[in-house]
Amino acid sequence: MATYKEIRGTTIQAVGSAPSQLGEIFYDSSARAMKAVNLGSAAWATANNASTARYGVSGNGLQTAQLVCGGESPPGSPNINVATEEYDGTNWTNGGNLPAGKRNASSFGTQTSAVNAAGLTSNPGTVLNSSEEYDGSSWTSGGNVTTARRNLGSSGVLTAGVIFGGYAPPGRTTATEEYDGSSWTSGGALSTAVSHQVPAVNGTQTATFSASGISTAITQQTEEYNGSSWTSGGNVITGREQAMGGGTLTAGLLFGGNAPPGNLTSTEGYDGTSWSAAGNLNAARGTGGGGGTQAASILSFGTPGPGIATEEYTGAAPATVSIDTD
């Protein structure tokens, strides 16, 4: 640290407002205190409940514009849901119903332009190859996927989406398929067959990841997709299945899920290279709907509990703190 003698006579910049750049140190003349801009804490907060309790739903979109559809209620029952609900950052409202009930499908896109792909008709049910498109008010039939599957991952937008992995009886699959808004074509295969994984929910057709899930057992593996092939990424800290996620390939998030003996509260963030701890949910949960960004994510529905709970995530951001100079 420099001494007063060393910095004496140095010009100090005067600013009209407190700096906000991470790592900056400054003197607050009004408070007569030294301060610094440090990284604050990430946190989950409870939000308003949804209307229809369910599990094994499909979720996509943003914290202020999430779309959730399908699922079952209660867990393990034959009651498969057609309901769609939309979240505006405060309240839930009903959207248009799916043409037919399904669970353990995967959706991508936005609240007003989305695709829901594959899934399962009932419990135990039939694995589906259908997809549906949503325009903000109603669902219509989309192109059929080549490989029927459930518990898969997906990313992208309606006219440029991608699905990957999942359970395709009699086993898990490496198959990747890309959607152009009307039909599906084969993409590069995953290195390892996996289901129940977490995708970069708001990733793209040419930049996404598949994290954790079940291979021969629960895996910590992450694979990254560039639009043509998959390569290995950083391992998650805690392997899990039926977790939820948000964000992109280089700013991703995963949270909750199941790792025996039960569901998890832990959240992990991804920077495109490695995973790090990023706060805890207020309640352990899996099989819900995810969405949002690494800085502002959302979790809704899922087990255990009433199946209607919502939590919102605020990522760590720069925060001003006082420095003790004693």
Encode pLDDT of 57-71 as tens digits.
999 999 999 999 999
- Residue ranges covered by each domain of the chain: 4-40+317-322, 43-314
3-state helix, strand, coil split of the chain in percent (to 5) is 0, 45, 55
pLDDT band at 2 (very low <50, low <70, confident <90, very high): low
* pLDDT value for 7: 46
Single-letter amino acid code for the residue at 318: P
* pLDDT value for 133: 98
* pLDDT value for 23: 57
* pLDDT value for 274: 96
Question: Among residues 211, 202, 272, which one has the least CA distance to residue 237?
Answer: 211
pLDDT band at 9 (very low <50, low <70, confident <90, very high): low
* pLDDT value for 326: 55
Question: Could you give the CA distance from residue 133 to residue 118 in angstroms, rounded to a whole number?
Answer: 12
Segment 174-179 shows an average pLDDT of: 98
CB 255 within 8 A of CB 290: yes
Contact partners, residue 61, CB within 8 Å, separation at least 6: 67, 87, 109, 110, 111, 114, 291, 292
pLDDT band at 175 (very low <50, low <70, confident <90, very high): very high
Question: Could you give the CA distance from residue 268 to residue 273 in angstroms, rounded to a whole number?
Answer: 13
Whole-prediction pTM: 0.87
Question: Could you give the CA distance from residue 263 to residue 285 in angstroms, rounded to a whole number?
Answer: 6
Q: According to DSSP H, which parts of 84-225 are helical?
A: none
**DSSP E strand boundaries for 95-196:** 106-110, 113-117, 131-134, 139-141, 153-157, 160-164, 167-168, 171-172, 176-179, 184-186
**Between 22 and 84, residue with greater pLDDT:** 84
Which pair of structure tokens corresponds to residue 30? Answer: 């009004």
Contact partners, residue 203, CB within 8 Å, separation at least 6: 155, 156, 209, 247, 248, 249, 252
CB 196 within 8 A of CB 189: no
* pLDDT value for 219: 98
Superfamily of segment(s) 43-314 = Kelch-type beta propeller (2.120.10.80)
Segment 194-213 shows an average pLDDT of: 98
Contact partners, residue 124, CB within 8 Å, separation at least 6: none
- Burial (0-12, 13-18, 19+ Cβ within 10 Å), 221: buried
pLDDT in tens, 89-123: 999 999 999 999 999 999 999 999 999 999 999 76
Q: Of all residues in the chain, what percent carry a pLDDT higher than 90?
A: 78
Segment 273-283 shows an average pLDDT of: 95
Q: How far out from the chain centre does Cα 105 lie?
A: 15
Would you say the C-alpha torsion 80, 165, 167, 140 has a positive or negative sign? Answer: positive
